[in-house]
Amino acid sequence: MRFIFLLLVTVIILNNVNAQVGSESQNLDSTLHSEIAFHLYGSNYQGDLVQTDIWYFPETKLALGISYRLDVSNNFRVSAKLSGGSIAGTDKNFDDRKNLDDNLNFKSTYIYGGISGEWYPWGREKRIKYYNQNGEKLDYHYARYSDTPLFNSKKEPMAEKSKLTFVRKWMPFASGGLVILYNNPTIGSNGPTATPWETLKEKNGDIPNVLLGISIGGGLRYNISEKYNVGADFSLIYLFSDYADGWSKVRDPQDPDWITQAGLSFGYRF
């Protein structure tokens, strides 16, 4: 059910981004509507060797990321991200597994690339009180830097554009997209194997390293100035695999693994 929900939300967000390209892209100045951002995250994993499906704080690790964002309209963006971090887990995270003879564990570093759509329901910039000749209200960058003449609500020509003032704004958003992840877990057992190994393949660590998934997330950003913004965001990465931790059938083979990232970002617009 979680996978179906994530897939549905991702499709809706990406579809809305695509629908906006034709209807609103004419209101953008392409030279000023791209951005690079740096991310500092806490990284967590949900799977066979942690106790909760949400966030298990004792296993929180560090993750870093960089992303490139391209504006489609005042409400939509597409984003490409590269991120890497660490995850870990052990049977000792469970009260009922602490004394198992095999006591499985793993640790891993990962790196992933992803493409996503970002939806800003209230826009990324406040619409200023200027209009184009068709009576459409404009965002700051388009009004300030495009060649389109400005008019007031009565369709009267306005003053020169250099006098426009940037307006700071909080920007809540939701996102969804596709992910490809490289993961190389180191698996281990702290005792003799009372629980049978799944297969010789799993025992020897011969497991898939390249995993596909989808992500859903959201957050809040704030425009410090025309060029800079800061934010807080999170991503839930649903993997089409139960091998992010290197284990499957010996513990919980029914549910694929997740990776969660949450933290801060700093963006520069150019």
Residue 96: strand, helix, or coil: coil
CATH fold for the domain made of 2-123+168-269: Porin (2.40.160)
**What residue ranges in 92-241 does DSSP mark as E strands?**
104-119, 170-183, 186-189, 210-223, 228-239
Q: Note the pLDDT tens digit of each residue in 21-80.
A: 444 434 433 344 789 999 999 999 988 888 776 788 888 999 999 999 998 887 899 999
Residue-range domain boundaries for the chain: 2-123+168-269, 127-166
Residues 6+ apart with CB under 8 A from 117: 13, 14, 16, 17, 76, 77, 78, 79, 175, 176, 177
What is the spatial distance between Cα 68 and Cα 35, in angstroms, rounded to a whole number? 6
Q: Note the pLDDT tens digit of each residue in 222-257.
A: 988 878 999 999 999 999 988 888 777 667 667 788
What is the spatial distance between Cα 62 and Cα 73, in angstroms, rounded to a whole number? 33
- Is 183 in contact with 205 (CB distance < 8 Å)? no
